[in-house]
């Protein structure tokens, strides 16, 4: 399934994500004219798992998305909802066209190159390796990484040894298959999503004993994602480096972090796609975009940091921005 046509899905909903979805769509059209698939903005619908309407009601946002060729994809929240909004990316997969390869991106992503040039092999799914060792956090008296991860693989009848990176030391987090869920892809969204949902509910509702004392929120999607990818024959080496989270996409997460640490190319794309009046007038309804992009606060944040010598820990970057009074989300 290498070089197969594919669809792209992001999640959009009321609040911040609707504006991020607009920027994503604008960057896709601007930087990837060769993309011939469909762009879906998956939107959760009101229901008992939401305490307020999560859908996009802003007509200007909806019109701008339509002008960019994005298709609104309503879906129901039956498992997660407001209690775990990261579950949107799991449940929304069931609404995508069955049997058509897909790539999911978090909405706080910019496309910065030609997406159709990325050498996806949809028969071998993978996900973002722009990740830190955020989970698990083994305790002093154990169990360690190996026992925790093996318990999860055993729960679903998966082969644990074949998931290991034996070039990494025992009990070092990089030895164990772990992804950021900022992007992932596969051959069929419904098959992938069904397994993702089954695994996530199993771990949430009945975690293995070895997970006692480990936090599942907000990490549940990233705990389960490697298991799903491994179960479909994918892995850490399925996608050549340098494309996603590289020359072709940037998962910036928040505007202050984008200006602080991302490349000049990413900032250039952000300003280019936000500049047209039809986009700008909508984005100005979102305070962080108004202040950071259009009123110059982002450039003030950028001037605080040397991209060649950034603090090693993200928290240090956040703290510096906050101390200068420039933090927004």
For 16-32, the pLDDT digits (tens) are 999 999 999 999 999 99
**CA distances to 133, 220, 237 from 90, in Å:** 22, 11, 23
CA 105 from centroid of its chain's CA atoms: 5
Look at residue 1 and tell me whether its pLDDT is greater than 70.
Answer: no
User: What confidence tier does 58 reach under pLDDT thresholds 50, 70, 90?
Assistant: very high
Q: What is the rounded average pLDDT of the residues 320-328?
A: 97
- Integer Cα distance of 230 and 234 in angstroms: 5
So what's the pLDDT on residue 142?
85
Bridge-based pairing of strands 70-75 and 7-11 is unpaired
DSSP H or E segment with residue 86 = none
Cβ atoms < 10 Å from Cβ of 79: 16
Q: What is the mean pLDDT of the chain?
A: 97
The Cα 150–Cα 80 span in angstroms is: 26
Whether residue 12 contacts residue 56, with contact meaning beta carbons closer than 8 Å, is answered with yes
Residue 104, number of CB atoms within 10 A of its CB: 26
Q: How far apart are CA 228 and CA 198, in angstroms?
A: 10
196-241 pLDDT tens trace: 999 999 999 999 999 999 999 999 999 999 999 999 999 999 999 9
**Does position 140 have pLDDT exceeding 90, yes or no?**
no
**pLDDT digits over 294-320, tens only?**
999 999 999 999 999 999 889 999 999
Residues in the chain, total: 329
Give the per-residue pLDDT at 24. Answer: 98
**Mean pLDDT throughout 75-92?**
98
In the predicted structure, residue 2 carries a pLDDT above the cut 80: no
What's this model's pTM, rounded to 2 decimal places?
A: 0.96
Report the pLDDT value the prediction gives residue 3, as an integer from 0 to 100.
Answer: 66
d(CA 275, CA 266): 14
Q: Which CB contacts under 8 angstroms, 24+ apart, belong to 206-211?
A: 208/151, 208/152, 208/154, 208/155, 209/151, 210/143, 210/147, 210/148, 210/150, 210/151, 211/136, 211/148, 211/151, 211/152
Mean pLDDT of the 105-120 span: 97
């Amino acid at each position: 399934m290498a070089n197969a046509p594919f669809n792209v899905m992001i999640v959009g909903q009321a609040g911040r994500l609707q504006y991020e979805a607009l920027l994503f769509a604008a960057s896709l059209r601007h930087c990837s004219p060769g993309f011939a698939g469909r762009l879906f903005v998956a939107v959760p619908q009101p229901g008992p798992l939401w305490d307020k309407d999560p859908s996009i009601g802003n007509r200007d946002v909806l019109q701008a998305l339509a002008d960019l060729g994005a298709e609104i994809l309503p879906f129901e929240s039956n498992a997660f909802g407001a209690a775990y909004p990261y579950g949107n990316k799991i449940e929304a997969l069931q609404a995508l066209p069955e049997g058509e390869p897909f790539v999911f991106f978090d909405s706080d992503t910019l496309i910065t190159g030609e997406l159709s040039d990325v050498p996806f092999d949809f028969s071998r799914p993978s996900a973002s390796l722009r990740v830190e060792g955020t989970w698990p956090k083994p305790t002093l008296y154990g169990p360690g990484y190996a026992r925790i991860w093996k318990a999860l693989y055993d729960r679903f009848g998966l082969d644990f040894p074949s998931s290991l990176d034996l070039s990494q030391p025992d009990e070092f987090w990089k030895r164990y298959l772990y992804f950021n869920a900022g992007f992932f892809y596969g051959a069929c969204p419904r098959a992938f999503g069904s397994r993702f949902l089954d695994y996530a509910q199993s771990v949430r509702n009945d975690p293995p004993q070895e997970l006692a004392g480990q936090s599942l929120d907000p990490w549940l999607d990233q705990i389960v994602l490697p298991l799903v990818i491994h179960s479909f024959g994918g892995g850490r080496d399925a996608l050549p480096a340098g494309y996603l989270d590289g020359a072709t996409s940037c998962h910036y997460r928040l505007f202050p972090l984008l200006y602080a640490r991302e490349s000049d190319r990413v900032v250039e794309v952000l300003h280019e796609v936000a500049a047209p009046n039809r986009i700008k007038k909508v984005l100005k309804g979102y305070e962080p975009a108004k202040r950071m992009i259009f009123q110059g606060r982002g450039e003030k944040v950028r001037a605080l940091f040397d991209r060649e010598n950034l603090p090693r820990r993200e928290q240090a970057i956040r703290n510096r921005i906050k101390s200068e009074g420039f933090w927004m989300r």
